[in-house]
């Protein structure tokens, strides 16, 4: 049989199997332990807001296992925080998904319409199998979770302005641009949140500190020439994206950079950037792909280095009395959820009573 005949048959079998699973109710809850009380929007005074929804987790009939990103990482972080005793089930804020109107604050209409084509989403997520999946299923199981996490970024920034510190257990899609997606990122969530807050008169200037291992080309391209948004980006210069883009303040590192070098440079650069820009809000794009165990970067940081990095950013922001929001960005090793959870736990234990 020729390849021309085999391809449609494979596509037909794949789609038939998916339809059968939907019809038989084989889609299970992403987080069956979640309680309804967790959607409450009230938190005790002094508690650092953590934004989370079980809808953040990405599952698509097992296809997500073909991708380097762990689609259930977010629920793993939440479970760690519950086990550690720093949170109970009712003390997470549940966000609303970002709306189409809010997406247009940054994205073009033509780009958002292009996401209706499975092939385009497959290209952005670098998972070619998705080209055979109906666009409605992709929207439901992949794009909707990303819109929800983007809404979480907006809610987290709002809560940071109110309480000084807030953390989104998700978000940080820093390769998405105005009219493009890439590097597993579809929606440009942080610039969207900043622009919405500025339009509401809540802030004038925001600083993005991007410590994900990959350069945040999307955030930088989407905000270039905007005097109200300043980007400080620490990244591995030897990895994606290619070529690197112009940024407000790029801090490239060579391959195999160790934690001590990385942390020293962060402590040198960030205070200068804050002094120069004087932001009303800091958003930390805190990727865990800087870990030595991560397959998609060459950085050599340990879990403890990531924890120290995240606590340092919060400590500096609080010392200067600047609200700080943290989003989790990328991370592809089996230590990713652990590193994020320990950072959040450390921030809670150190700053909760001071929030």
Report the number of secondary-structure helices (H) and strands (E) in the chain: 12, 7
Q: Of 174, 175, 214, 340, which one is the catalytic site residue?
A: 175
167 three-state secondary structure: strand
Taken in order 296, 298, 304, 309, the sign of the CA dihedral is negative
Residues 6+ apart with CB under 8 A from 249: 230, 231, 232, 233, 269, 273
Instruction: Count Cβ neighbours within 10 Å for each residue of 201-238 and write b for 16 or more, e otherwise.
Output: eebebbbbbbbbbbbbbbbbbbbeebeebbbbbbbbee
175 is catalytic: yes
What does 95-133 look like in DSSP terms, one character per residue?
A: PPPPPHHHHTTTS-HHHHHHTTSHHHHHHHHT-GGGGGS
CB atoms within 10 A of CB 353: 10
For residue 268, give both structure tokens. Answer: 């040198």
- The residue length of the chain stands at 355
Q: Which helix (H) or strand (E) holds 325?
A: strand 324-327
Q: Which residues are catalytic?
A: 175
């Amino acid at each position: 049989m020729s390849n021309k005949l085999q391809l449609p048959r494979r596509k037909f079998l794949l789609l038939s199997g998916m339809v059968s699973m939907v019809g038989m109710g084989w889609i299970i809850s992403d987080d069956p332990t979640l309680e309804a009380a967790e959607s409450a929007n009230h938190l005790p005074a002094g508690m650092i807001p953590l934004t989370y929804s079980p809808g953040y987790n990405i599952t698509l009939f097992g296809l997500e296992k073909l991708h380097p990103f762990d689609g259930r990482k977010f629920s793993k972080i939440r479970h760690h925080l519950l086990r550690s005793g720093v949170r109970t089930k009712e003390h997470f804020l549940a966000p609303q998904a970002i709306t189409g109107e809010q997406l247009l604050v940054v994205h073009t209409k033509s780009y958002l319409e292009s996401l209706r084509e499975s092939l385009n989403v497959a290209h952005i997520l670098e998972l070619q199998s998705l080209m055979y999946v109906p666009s409605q299923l992709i929207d439901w199981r992949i794009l909707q979770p990303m819109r929800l996490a983007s809404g979480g970024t907006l809610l987290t920034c709002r809560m940071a302005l109110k309480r000084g510190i807030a953390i989104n257990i998700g978000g940080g899609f820093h390769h998405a641009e105005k009219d493009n997606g890439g590097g597993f990122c579809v929606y440009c969530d942080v610039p969207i949140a900043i622009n919405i807050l500025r339009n509401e008169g809540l802030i004038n200037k925001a600083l993005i500190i991007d410590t994900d291992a990959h350069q945040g080309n999307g955030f930088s391209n989407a905000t270039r020439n905007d005097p109200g948004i300043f980007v400080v980006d620490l990244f591995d210069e030897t990895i994606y994206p290619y070529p690197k883009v112009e940024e407000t303040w790029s801090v490239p590192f060579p391959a195999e950079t160790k934690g001590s070098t990385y942390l020293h440079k962060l402590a040198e650069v960030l205070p200068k950037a804050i002094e120069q820009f004087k932001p009303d809000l800091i958003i930390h794009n805190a990727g865990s792909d800087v870990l030595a165990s991560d397959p998609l970067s060459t950085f050599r940081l340990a879990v403890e280095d990531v924890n120290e990095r995240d606590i340092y950013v919060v400590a500096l922001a609080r010392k200067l009395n600047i609200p700080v929001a943290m989003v989790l960005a990328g991370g592809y090793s089996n230590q990713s959820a652990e590193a994020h959870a320990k950072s959040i736990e450390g921030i809670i234990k150190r700053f909760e009573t001071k929030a």
